[in-house]
């Protein structure tokens, strides 16, 4: 492939990767703003969408996944910042990776960055999807989970 075409392809892939990161952040932050506006003043009473199955429940998560490490705010924020920097550095090396791999990586980066924005802005992460049998989570958590599952599947399927 001629060098100019390869550079154009790399630019397009990078734009789509960072475009997806931006899209995840925007969707997650808008959903959290709506939750903060409508649910945070309700004394944390859940909104039942499908009784006993799916509720919208406002939760201030000062920990990480599943509420672990609630009391280590400085350590968590520092660790998450280092992980995001590493993700960004790795993303610069993805120019030869398949587009689907880059998109999965974009989902992980966007989710991590959006939750980090909450942590810096609010001191906690806003969670609200409540399926009653699983810890409460948000759009960013879903994005991270889907991205990691896709990356694991690609890793397992590679020869």
Question: How much is the average pLDDT of 34-49?
Answer: 80
Q: Is the pLDDT of residue 46 over 60?
A: yes
pLDDT of residue 122: 93
Taking the alpha carbons at both ends of the chain, their separation in whole angstroms is 24
- The pLDDT of residue 130 is 95
Q: What are 110's strand-pairing partners?
A: none
Measured between alpha carbons, how far is 104 from 92 in angstroms, rounded to an integer? 15
The answer for residues whose C-beta is within 8 angstroms of residue 99's C-beta and 6 or more apart is 13, 16
Q: For a pLDDT cut of 70, what percent of the chain falls above it?
A: 80
Mean pLDDT of the chain: 84
Query: For 92-106, what is each residue's pLDDT tens digit?
Result: 777 667 778 888 989
Cα-based distances in Å from 41 to 36, 59, 131, 139, 143: 8, 12, 21, 21, 27
Residues 115-142 have a mean pLDDT of 93
Active-site annotation, residues: 127, 141
- Token reading at 9: 């392809």
> What is the tens place of the pLDDT at every residue in 66-97?
565 666 667 777 888 888 888 888 877 776 67
Confidence of residue 143 (pLDDT cuts 50, 70, 90): very high
Is pLDDT of 3 > 90? no
């Amino acid at each position: 492939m001629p060098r100019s075409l390869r550079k154009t392809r790399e630019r397009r892939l990078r734009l789509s990767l960072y475009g997806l990161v931006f899209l995840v952040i925007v969707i997650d932050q808008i959903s959290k703003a709506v939750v903060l506006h409508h649910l945070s003043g309700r004394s944390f009473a859940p909104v039942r969408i499908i009784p006993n199955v799916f509720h919208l429940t406002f939760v201030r998560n000062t920990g990480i996944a599943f509420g672990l490490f609630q009391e280590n705010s400085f350590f968590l924020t520092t660790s998450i910042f280092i992980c995001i920097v590493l993700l960004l550095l790795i993303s610069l090396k993805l120019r030869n990776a398949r587009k689907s791999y880059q998109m999965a990586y974009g989902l992980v980066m966007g989710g991590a960055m959006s939750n980090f924005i909450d942590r810096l802005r609010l001191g906690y992460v806003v969670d609200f999807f409540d399926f009653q049998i699983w810890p409460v989570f948000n759009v960013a958590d879903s994005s991270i989970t889907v991205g990691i599952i896709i990356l694991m599947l690609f890793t397992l399927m590679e020869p």
